Structure 1
Amino acid sequence: MRKLTLSLFALLAGCGVVYHSPNVREGVVDGAKVRIIELTPETLLAANSQAYNPRSLPAAFRASAGTYGSSDGMESLPNPAHSPEYRPGALETRLPPTPPNDPYRIGVGDVVLLATKTPGNTVSELSGLLAAENRRQGYTVQDDGTIAIPDVGRVRIADMTMEEAETTLFQRLVERQIDPTFSLEVAEFNARRVSIGGAVVNPGVAPITLTPLTLDTAMAKVGGVSAADRDSAVIRIYRDGSLYELPVEDFLRTPAYQKLRLIDGDSVFVDTEYDLAKAQAYFEEQIQLSSTRASIRSEAMTALSQEVAIRRQDLAEQRDNFEARIEYGAEKRDYVFLSGEVVKPGRWPLPYEQTASLADALYDSGGVQAVSGNPRQIYILRGSPDPREFGGITAWHLDGTSATGMMLSTRMQLRPDDVVFVAEQPVTKWDRVLDQISPSLITVPLDNATQ
């Protein structure tokens, strides 16, 4: 029986039936020089020294819809003055001079009310002319500084105090032989205002009324300071061509600063910019462009939103097209090849814009076969750029059973067209030989019997 088995083995081997195990061996193989180098921390440097530039993604993957030029009209707006550059050691306090405590003066745009004492008296001659107290009909101060009262005419009261305006109206009523019993009040304060902007909750304007407007009242009208870093925030006041500043922390701690009186024409700006010249430039731009800034910004933002939406769609289409070309193989890409006893043999794509390690490729593909793979025999086959050079093919050998080997696998960089090969276990090789021989041992005697 032994002789029969050996004879059958020799017969099957001669016919090429016996299992041929793939392997890596050093020497001249099929006309190519193969050199096996043990992968160590020292040889790893040589393995990774081969120049390699990973392929880059198209520009559409790096661009965003907002990286293009500004929309038409935006360049007409002043640049923001608050762009922090450095954190100062201390902020200077420069307060404006205390204004005189003058009474309120009526201005263009204010609405005043004239009210009679009682209906039905001698002033009833002005019925429909002067406002009755229950009708609250007002008179707006026109751009020439006057109000127009029927049967009385135009009376100039702009730039007058309430007392001066009452005296002027009294004289005009007497001249028209009308009972001058009346009361005068300002219903709407539109002439004198303070603008407030910058790092506040709701930028806007605060009117000057009969009651003096203080800095804390003005800040309360816009919701207070919204700057995240109040240590470096500063309140700047632009008045009559001069710029003053008050640190927010000092303002919050000092009642005297909170009661700082503001006057008509003041501009208050809460800022974290440390360059005083830039802040002053901001106010100058606001004064010069106050009549057109809002409309220009609105139109520019609408145009910019439309332009960004179009560009975003274009970038998305370019990315989708690139991904489709990758899927159909129309885009050139670098690969390494996994063979031998790995869970998922095949072609593994190298990533864009960065290198990949041996561990990346192995573990992304399921790793080494747990039963049949031999982790001591892991090879990275790399061809020389010129086959005539020494080596031809270099086989970097890695023993993956040691901690050092596992760490080296995370640092061994792969190159395009590398072949990662994992050899089989010796017992697996014999098992596969027997799997092929056993059916043959049965088949051959049967064939001989039929003869």
Structure 2
Amino acid sequence: MRHSRQRLAALGLASMALLAGCSLAPGSHMTYQSDTAPIDELVSIEPITPGLVSSWQQAPAGHPMSDELNVALAAYEYRVGPGDVLSIIVYDHPELTNPGGTDRSAAEVGNRVQADGTFFYPYIGRVSAEGKTVDEIRRELTRRLAAFITEPQIEVGVAAYNAKKVYLSGEVSEPKTLPITSVPLTLVDAISQVGSANPGANWHSIYLNRNGRQEQISLYELMRNGDMRQNRLLQPGDILHVPSAENQAVAVMGQVIRPGNIPLGNERLTLTDALARSGGINEISANASGIFVVRGNDPSSDKLATVYQLDVRNAASFTLGSRFVLEPQDVVYVTTAPIARWNRVISLLLPSIRLPGVASDSITDTRDL
């Protein structure tokens, strides 16, 4: 992972050099040779424009629950499994209702479903329960007891839910298993039952693992913005993992007052926020047209990364930066002037660039060069 991030940063920085060289020296021809990869084929260049940031803006409005989840909740029925304990009441027949006496709970004296999916009941013997609803079990008991009891009146419930569970792990108040019961268990319900996610949790990317497949869900959008489309009906065997936010950071490098890492936490920062937290750009050495954000692309993309460029020679352009929301592991870089100096040292900088955490070292290296 560390090597891939190093490679991404190196390629991104090289692309910034090529972009800045073209934008600041029109018509110039660079005659030096480099052994680096053809960066222009590996990255996409995007200027940060009003149209770009507007296309990313989303109204902070909640969204209703999906039709799929509504249908699933309406059709939900709990089906009994091995390990469940059934509570069976036969009215007017206390010897069948509570043979262990009244001093013990229904979970202690109830009928436990065995590993083969059946339980034993007086008079009628083994009764199949696995995969059936309590109403289906009640009807079978009524039919079979009718041979011994006149018009039996029976009620069946689950005294202890032991058969089906979901697992919560990671940055939650109390990692634990939660039983699947007759009441449908949604993602919101599960998180609420363990006391919500910890402050150090990554609310933007939690993971639902089901049958060998993983789905990424934004708990932030669900809990903070009311986007109920993120909610899910949990199923037996689901694993819900809430990761830590320790890797939720951006690296700010180049001609800023305090280069380094900025943790994002659960609140997203804008480009302007990141520059401000780094002490602002160095007005003596920074190139106002060379503020770049290097962002890795999806592995399925033909391009390794996208490089976004912000030109703040007009100070009003900082308003665009205040609308450009950074993502975890973005690299913000402010180039130095003159750009020709950067072009000369880029081939020496690429093998030694390191991030995150040592951004200030790389700046010193460049100055030494």
- TM-score w.r.t. length of structure 1: 0.35
**Whose radius of gyration is greater, 1 or 2?**
1
Q: TM-score, normalised to structure 2's length?
A: 0.43
